[in-house]
Amino acid sequence: MKRNKTPLFLGLLVWLIGSIAFLLQMSLTFYLSHLLLFFLLIFSLLQTSRQEKTLTYLEKERESLTLRLEDKERIAEIFEDISRLYDKFVEKIDFPKLIEETLNCTGRILESDLLVVAVRIKDVWEKEIKSGDESAFLPKEVKEYLFTQWKELLLDDLSNYPPFHLMKKQGFNRMLSTPLHTKGTIYGFIAGFNYTRNFHPNQQFLLSTLAHHIALLIENTQLLEKIKKVSLRRETGKVEDLKELERRLEIEKKVEERELELARQIQQKLLPFPLPELPGWEIDALAVQSLEVGGDYFDIFPLRKNKWGVVMVDVSGKGVPAALIMVMLRTALHTLSPTKKENPKTTLEYLNQYLFRETEKHIFVSILYAIFHPEEGKIELLNAGGEYPIIYRSKQKKIEMIKEGGLVLGLVENWENSEVKKVFLEEGDLFFLYTDGLIETLSPEGEIYGEERLEEFLKRKGELRVSELLKELEKEIKGFSWSEPLVDDITVLALKRKSKK
């Protein structure tokens, strides 16, 4: 927004006329009136400047909000595309179709002047396709260089980065690329080039997420092909290969069992048993592990001035990796200064930065963090993607579900959430936290337990002591699932204010 300089010129003109009048010894009244007019014009100019700054700030905020809303919509669309890709590829292994769909998805993310997707599967298949400027191309030197890169590249001036000066000669100045790789193998890359437009960090995040899933899909396909080859060898009489496969599978099975046992041990040691005993309160928890150890973790720990921190966490993934993320979270949370831990918003902002910086980009964490004031019966909470907490109101015999919260931690660098929610518990009231494993428990018919059944259970059993209530809940879940194995870990934490009767 350009500033209007007319008032400034008018003010200088008035001051000049007044000065000339003073030098020519005209009347003092004439001089003072012009001087007053000059100051009024300067004041008007300053006010205009403030208004312009305010309008500029509001315009930037509006643009930023619009971008954030667009990003969320695009994230949802990209994940739908990934899901559709998985479904199609599982039905029929079709690499040309996969790379074509990858190009389409990437085009919606970057909208770049030149977009290249290249895949190279040793002794199986190699292909490179592009979209955008038809006259532009990717030189062999650049392609071979990108096939060796394990990290993402976001470059603003290609002339400073050989061999990308070859792209600079074609007029390109900006580049964003990400490899298609798993832990041990690079399968290809996705690269976008722009003449003048910069790439946004959110585009980098979306592209990285898409590339990670495409690489996993290719890797899984390679494993499937290896299994088919072993089966073929068995049919042709090469039993030695089958025996070697069985031996390796047996070793892998033992390693997995050891890893699961290690994850269970880590998870158990993190849980805060025995739970604290607070005057006027009943506190108890339930932790039921599934066959595959998940990333559930809860904690309750003392803060200053008789306050307590309460946390309920669900880490993406399973086994030892999820358990290690839980250890990282607990360490980060417990090493925060007491003042930071007493503000849920500050605490979650810190944890998000920590996770975003220290973990892989496909790792995220659902977490509810609360400050518990036992003497007042007050709970201040902030929910980042966790299950909605439930309050059972003893006097009214009704259920309240706190349906407020925001994005999970670890996905974006600049995490935002709603304001901290405050609730008060009266005598007999129950505060109930849980992870999704509880409501996603399956019956033999494939029906999920769900939120409605949980609410009905709490209405029926809400007057029980907390320890008895959780025993009844465990019994109900086992009866509902019957002999079916649990889909995920079940973790529950309940706080109930005692009645003085």
Q: What is the DSSP string of 304-323?
A: STT-EEEEEEEESS-HHHHH
pLDDT at 1 over 50: no
CA atoms of 312 and 298, how far apart (whole Å): 4
CATH number for domain 279-497, candidates 3.60.40.10, 3.40.50.11030, 3.40.1080.10, 2.60.40.420: 3.60.40.10
pLDDT of residue 434: 96
More confident residue, 39 or 371: 371
pLDDT of residue 2: 45
Report percent pLDDT > 70 for the chain: 68
pLDDT at 175 over 80: yes
Domain 93-227 part of CATH 3.30.450.20: no
The amino acid occupying position 147 is: F
CA atoms of 159 and 429, how far apart (whole Å): 66
pLDDT at 381 over 60: yes
Q: Count of H helices and E strands in the chain?
A: 13, 15
Is the peptide bond preceding residue 274 cis, with omega within 30 degrees of 0? yes
Query: 408: closest CA among 356, 360, 358?
Result: 356
* Strongest mean pLDDT among 120-134, 288-302, 347-361, 415-429: 415-429
pLDDT at 456 over 50: yes
Lowest mean pLDDT across 78-87, 437-446, 492-501: 78-87
376-410 residues labelled b (16+ CB within 10 A) or e (exposed):
ebebbbbbbbbbebbbbebeeeebeebeebebbbb
Lowest mean pLDDT across 47-56, 308-317, 378-387, 446-455: 47-56
260-282 pLDDT per residue, tens: 665 566 666 778 878 999 999 99
CA atoms of 218 and 224, how far apart (whole Å): 10
pLDDT of residue 81: 64
CA atoms of 235 and 241, how far apart (whole Å): 11
**Residue 264 phi, psi (nearest 5):** -65, -40
**Encoding tokens for residue 320?**
């030892």
pLDDT at 146 over 50: yes
pLDDT of residue 195: 93
Each domain of the chain, given as residue ranges in start order, spans 6-65, 93-227, 279-497
Lowest mean pLDDT across 141-150, 266-275, 467-476: 266-275
Q: Return the SS3 of 406.
A: strand
206-229 pLDDT per residue, tens: 788 788 878 877 877 766 666 555
Bridge partner list, 189: 118, 179
**Residue 284 phi, psi (nearest 5):** -155, 165
- Is the Cβ–Cβ distance between 152 and 186 less than 8 Å? no
Q: Return the SS3 of 335.
A: helix
**Residue 248 phi, psi (nearest 5):** -65, -40
10-29 pLDDT per residue, tens: 555 655 665 665 555 555 55
Across 364-384, average pLDDT: 94
* Strongest mean pLDDT among 51-60, 64-73, 265-274, 372-381: 372-381
More confident residue, 91 or 418: 418
pLDDT of residue 462: 95
pLDDT at 58 over 80: no
